[in-house]
Amino acid sequence: MAIIASNSAPGATQLEVRLRQVRLEADGIVSYELVAAGGEALPAFSAGAHIDLHIPGGMVRSYSLVNDPAETHRYMVAVHRVPDGRGGSAWMHGVPRVGDDLRISAPKNDFPLAEDASLSILFAGGIGITPLLAMARRLSTLGRPWRLHYSARSPQHAAFLDELRVLTQHGGELDLRFNSMGVPRLDLARLVKDAPADAHLYCCGPRSMIDDFLAASASRPQATVHYERFAAGTDAATAGGFDVVLQHSGLRLHVLPGKTILDTLLDNDISVQYSCSSGICGTCRTGVIEGGPDHRDDYLTDQEKRENRSIMICCSGSRSKTLVLDL
């Protein structure tokens, strides 16, 4: 397998893969099957893992792996076409063709599955099904009980329904909720309340769903509550009106209203690492030398935010007039 030095994270590597199959999974959702360019085995991954896809123009986008973690001959991701997105989904839906070579990171997992749980309850909204499908596959292989509540606009907008129905034949339970059919929306408060105390709960979906899930599970042991966002839980800080000083060069830049710190750095041709641009992946984490960050990310822990030693420059701002960064 060809391994290339990566520009997305210090010490990271990129893998060269080939696009073997593109398939429509639902309205607006397409899956992409990737294999090693040289035909060899790919690095192993665990349920809930994702890869970073390097897109021409310097963009990097993270996508959950949806296939069985036991497979090492391929990776499969699914991408939802977002009309007003930042370019990743539009590029994926419009540019790659079967046979094209692409560059990705090795799999990483910020949303791991507790494989020994007595019961795993999965909550998916729309494209949020992607990491949870891999979890359902893994739990079925292990013979562990699981229950999936899957909400979508309509059956036509729900991906991987056939695979999920097959998986239920191996001990899983599937609850489908489609707005178009008049089915009541998921009552997360009730479902979480009724869950056994030792069950592990997982949620992936739109911001409102994640927020409701976290509110409903606030009193549960936090070690049993797991979630993954595709977008930050709060809006990016774009008020501007402060200066950023780069410690290594002494360069001072003014962040204008409507701009993020990342926007300002890129506008001034300063090369920095970033990926999701939403404060959820951690790629743009930057050290803070002086000043008070206005944290807007969903990556740093509450303790790390209180310490103010790091900032996610893609979405966070400054509460002080000057912010000195370790750049």
Task: State pLDDT tens for residues 94-129.
Answer: 899 999 999 999 999 989 999 999 999 999 999 999
Domain ranges of the chain: 3-105, 120-229, 242-325
pLDDT at 82: 80
Would you say residue 2 has pLDDT above 80?
no
Cβ atoms of 149 and 186 within 8 Å: the answer is: yes
pLDDT at 305: 92
Gyration radius of the chain's alpha carbons:
21
Task: State pLDDT tens for residues 263-317.
Answer: 999 999 898 888 777 787 788 899 999 999 999 988 888 889 999 999 999 999 9
Closest CA to 319 of 297, 301, 302, 296: 296
pLDDT at 37: 94
pLDDT at 274: 80
**pTM for the complete prediction?**
0.79
CATH number of 3-105: 2.40.30.10
Question: What CATH class has 120-229?
Answer: alpha beta
Burial per residue of 290-308, b for 16 or more beta-carbon CB atoms within 10 angstroms, e otherwise:
ebbbebbbbbbeeeebeeb
Task: State pLDDT tens for residues 149-206.
Answer: 999 999 999 999 999 999 998 889 999 999 887 777 889 999 999 999 999 999 999 8
Q: Name the more confident of 90 and 34.
A: 34
Q: How many other CB atoms are there within 10 angstroms of residue 285's CB atom?
A: 19
pLDDT at 36: 96
* Residue with token string 């409102």: 208
CATH architecture of 242-325: Roll (3.10)
- The phi, psi pair for 10, rounded to 5°, reads -60, 130
pLDDT at 11: 43
pLDDT at 98: 97
Alpha carbon 107 to its chain's center: 12
d(CA 13, CA 15): 7
pLDDT at 299: 83
